[in-house]
Structure 1
Amino acid sequence: MLRLEDLTVRFGGLTALNSVSFAMSDGEILGLVGPNGAGKTTLFNTISGLVRPRTGRILFEEREINRMPLHARARLGLGRTFQIPQPMHHLTLRENLTVAQVFGAGKSDPARIDEILDVMELTEHADRDAATELALQELKRLEVAKALATNPRILLLDEVLAGLESQAKRRFVDKLRELHQRYALAIVIVEHDIETISTLCSRAVVLNFGTLIADGTPAEVFRDPAVVESYTGAADA
């Protein structure tokens, strides 16, 4: 479904991604993990079109999308959230979803927006100011709702659980499982919590200093000495 081939991204003298290659299947839930500064958000930005790679290819359904603008990638089925929620100021939740829908799907579908508001438990807030009247949990749900409004086939979730307390995080993970089943989505989630990755994802890819250092089941990668060393500074004996 999605394949990355030798992606390299440089910012001046800094190599943010170094020949990263992996593929994911239709309907897969993939965890993208690694220490701070490993290149996870840069990878999302490259897939979604905010950053252009120096070398390498991004293929979606065997179609190279390296030179496609953001809206064209969204209309192919690539939806994403941002680590820091970015509601559109002075717009209601419903209007936020409408703007996202027109950008990503090319047209407005009020019935679909009502459905997403309901699924994300945001209906009662639909006409409130998205930028000023929502709690953190609601802002996180709005980020996902905006991505869903683009009719994605792959959902790229950048630390969507960050800042949530344990019970709220568990409820959000349950919601992601529901979305995965309801909309037949593939999901890539950036998350630091090992328990979340282990329970939600069938597979994990680990980056460190822009290089892919492990790819396998969560149990396999979190036992990998290179992964242990990347988090602790010292490999297990």
Structure 2
Amino acid sequence: MLKLDAVTVRFGGLTALSDVSLHLRKGEILGLVGPNGAGKTTLFNTISGLVRPRGRIAFNGTDISRLPLHRRARLGIGRTFQIPQPMQHLSVRENLAVAQVFGAGRYDPERIDEILAVMELSPKADADAATALALQELKRLEIAKALATEPKLLLLDEVLAGLESNAKRAFMLKLRELKALFDLTIVIVEHDIETISELCTRAVVLNFGQLIADGTPTEVFNNPAVVESYTGTADA
């Protein structure tokens, strides 16, 4: 579904991604992990079109390496941001409508109603998105906006961060429901190893912009290079 070949991103003298190659299969839930500053959000920005890399990115057989943001969205790449970014002075419903027109190129109020219902935001549909929502609701709105673009691939940037354990577990159940309901392939950035192990079928680890491990969560989290990247020491 998604294929990255030798993707490199440099900001001045800083190499944020170094020769990253990755193949994502349709229907996967892939966990993207690594220490702070490892390049995870840069990778999302590169896939979604906010950053132009060296190397090649293909999505469902189409080279998207030089396509602008909206063209990638209309091919089926949706994403959330680490910090929720509701559009100011717009209602929850209007936030979804703007996202839908941008990403899907059309306005479909029935689809928006469906997303509001599944994300449990219908009671707040006409509330001001920037001022009337609690943290969990803001996170649900981020996902709802991404769903409004009608994605095939959903990139989730730390949507579980800041949630206590019960709320995190409820969110994981919701993600599984969304995957089945909308036929999604999901990549999620998450620091919690237990969450990745429970939610994901596969995990990829970045460190200093390099891909250092790729496999099942059990394989990855027992990899000495991964242990060392988090702790600074590796088992003998």
Please classify the TM superposition score into its range, dividing by the shorter chain length. Answer: over 0.9
Q: Secondary structure at the match of 2:213?
A: strand
Amino acid of the structure 2 residue aligned with 1:81: T
Corresponding residue for residue 73 of structure 1: 72
CA distance in 2, matches of 1:27, 1:124: 31
Correspondence 1:1-237 to 2 at 5 A: 1-53=1-53, 55-237=54-236
Q: Give the Cα–Cα distance (whole angstroms) in 1 for the partners of residues 177 and 102 of structure 2.
A: 25
TM-score (norm 1): 0.99
- In structure 1, C-alpha distance between the alignment counterparts of 2:154 and 2:193, rounded to whole Å: 20
Secondary structure of the structure 2 residue equivalent to 1:23: strand
Secondary structure of residue in 2 paired with 1:46: helix
Q: Distance in 1 between matches of 2:146 and 2:203?
A: 22
How far apart, in 2, do the equivalents of 1:20 and 1:27 lie? 21
Query: 2-side partners of 1:129 and 1:163: how far apart?
Result: 22
Give the deviation of 1:62 after TM superposition: 1.3
The separation in 1 between residues aligned to 2:124 and 2:167, in whole angstroms, is 18
Q: Give the deviation of 1:123 after TM superposition.
A: 0.2
Cα offset for 1:125? 0.3
Unaligned segments of structure 1, at least 5 residues: none
Distance in 1 separating the partners of 2:85 and 2:2: 26
Q: What secondary structure does 1:90 align onto?
A: coil
Supply the distance in 2 between the matched residues of 1:205 and 1:50 (Cα, whole angstroms): 21
- Looking at structure 1, the residues matched to 113 and 234 of structure 2 have their Cα atoms a distance apart, in angstroms, of 50
The residue matched to 1:171 in structure 2 has which SS?
Answer: helix
Deviating beyond 3 angstroms after TM superposition, the runs of 4 or more aligned structure 1 residues are: none
SS in 2 for 1:152: coil
Q: Give, as a single letter, the amino acid of the residue that structure 2 aligns with 1:130.
A: A
Identity, in percent, stands at 77
Give distance in 2, aligned partners of 1:236 and 1:119.
45
